[in-house]
Amino acid sequence: MAIQLSHRARAIKPSPTLTVSSLAKKMKAQGIDVINFGVGEPDFNTPEYIKEEAKKAIDDNFTRYTASAGIIELRRVISEKLLRDNDLHCDPEDILVSPGAKASIINVLMAVCDPRDEVIIPSPYWVSYTSQVEMVDSFPVIVPTKASAKFKLKAKVLDQTLKTLSNPKALILNSPNNPTGSVYSRKELTEIAEVCIKHNILIISDEIYEKLIYDNEKHVSIASISKEVREHTVVINGVSKAYAMTGWRLGYCAGPSEIIKQASRIQSHTTSCVNAMTQKAAIVALRECDGSVTRMREEFELRRNYFIERVRQIDNVTCIKPHGAFYVMPNISFYLQKNKRGIKTSVDLCEYLLQQHHIAVVPGSAFGADNYVRFSYANSMENIKEGLVRFERGLLELLT
């Protein structure tokens, strides 16, 4: 008889972004010319100065277990970075380095959440938040945001939601946002922080797209608003997106000592530490020696500008301008309602676009927003141009 899986394992759905990507890869392997807009990673290579440092670490035999929370030189560099970029005073002891920001978030959730605690997640949301909250036996409380509010959570709505909950524990806030590209202003963050303090909940502030901001907008870390807010916030960040280092696996969290200490203990019994050479490489990455972050950001901005202008030319598609990250989320509700092919959901639409028009796009339902699809523009300009031609053709064909 087969071994019964745990309730946790049974509750977890596969990441839809990875599902789309793997289907697209399979079609590519069959020789089909698929343009993949599903991936959530920069298409650039890791800058040379970072790779050199990792090679040196291997040659120097820096290849053993490290302190579970991360080597102290790296935590010092992160502490300097938090002060320089985010106006945050954070002791290296209050920083935990983990195998990716994804691991940082679950470590924090494990450190603070009890079964049946409630964690607020504004939608559209990054796919892993809900699954991670469920993995610690807590409840995700989804609070929808509106396109007219640029998909940003309003403090008043947060306050009203919190009043209805029995065990509110945390809010997961993500600015710049995946999938919407929204960036919260200092004023908006201040209002949200006031509500979180009033209800005594933790803010888990995912700032992984911090370096990818356009239109002269500025990233504000909510933790920098005041000492009191800092005491209620764990900042999540990492090297994946800013330095094109997704496969290296390094993220970190910084926050109140007790939470970080407990999250470190948890990590010491699971992954132990981030691999030693990645930690060395991250030290130089965070010092940003060669301007590559700026160059990547500028290239993303050009692509976003083209994307937005072109996608808005498609009949009956609306799209808010994202100010950060590398995603665009067009509203395709017209085509869900008016098509003659029985396509009712964003999943149906994405299957159709992949199979008939050879573009891989993530269904909005993965982010709690079925009237949308998400494109990642971490792709060449050539692919973006051709992909949008296919997208338009695919949508228009639905009406015939």
Ligand X SMILES: Cc1ncc(COP(=O)(O)O)c(C=O)c1O
Dihedral of CA 41/96/289/84: which sign? positive
Question: Exposed, middle or buried by CB within 10 Å (0-12, 13-18, 19+), for 51?
Answer: middle
Residue closer to ligand X by CB (options 242, 395) is 242
Residue closer to ligand X by CB (options 363, 394) is 363
Nearest distance from C-beta of residue 274 to ligand X, angstroms? 11
Nearest distance from C-beta of residue 244 to ligand X, angstroms? 11
Residue closer to ligand X by CB (options 238, 322) is 238
Total interface residues for ligand X by CB under 6 A: 13
Residues 203-232 that bind ligand X (CB under 6 A): 206, 208
Check: CB of residue 138 under 8 Å from CB of residue 160: no
Q: Which residue is nearest to ligand X (CB)?
A: 100
CA distance 71 to 65: 10
Binding-site string for ligand X from residue 346 to residue 375, where x marks contact by CB under 6 A and - marks none = ------------------------------
Residue closer to ligand X by CB (options 209, 352) is 209
CA distance 122 to 248: 29
Nearest distance from C-beta of residue 177 to ligand X, angstroms? 7
Token digits for 82? 């938090």
Nearest distance from C-beta of residue 356 to ligand X, angstroms? 27
Nearest distance from C-beta of residue 305 to ligand X, angstroms? 21
Q: Which stretch binds ligand X (CB under 6 A): 1-9, 212-220, 238-246, 307-315?
A: 238-246
Residue closer to ligand X by CB (options 249, 357) is 249
Please select the residue that binds ligand X; options are 16, 40, 330, 368, rule is CB under 6 A. 40
CA distance 177 to 182: 5
Residue 238 engages ligand X in binding (rule: CB under 6 A)? yes
Binding-site string for ligand X from residue 175 to residue 194, where x marks contact by CB under 6 A and - marks none = ---x----------------
User: Which residues 6+ apart lie within 8 Å of 14 measured at CB?
Assistant: none
Which is nearest to 385 in space by CA: 275, 302, 320? 302
CA distance 241 to 210: 9
Residues 71-110 that bind ligand X (CB under 6 A): 100-102
- The stretches of the chain forming alpha helices (DSSP H) are 7-11, 16-29, 48-59, 72-86, 101-112, 127-135, 155-164, 186-198, 227-231, 257-268, 276-287, 292-311, 333-338, 346-357, 381-397
Which SS3 state, helix, strand or coil, does residue 373 take? strand
CA distance 198 to 44: 43
Please select the residue that binds ligand X; options are 69, 94, 126, 223, rule is CB under 6 A. 126
Per CB under 6 A, residues contacting ligand X are 40, 100-102, 126, 174, 178, 206, 208, 238, 240, 246, 251
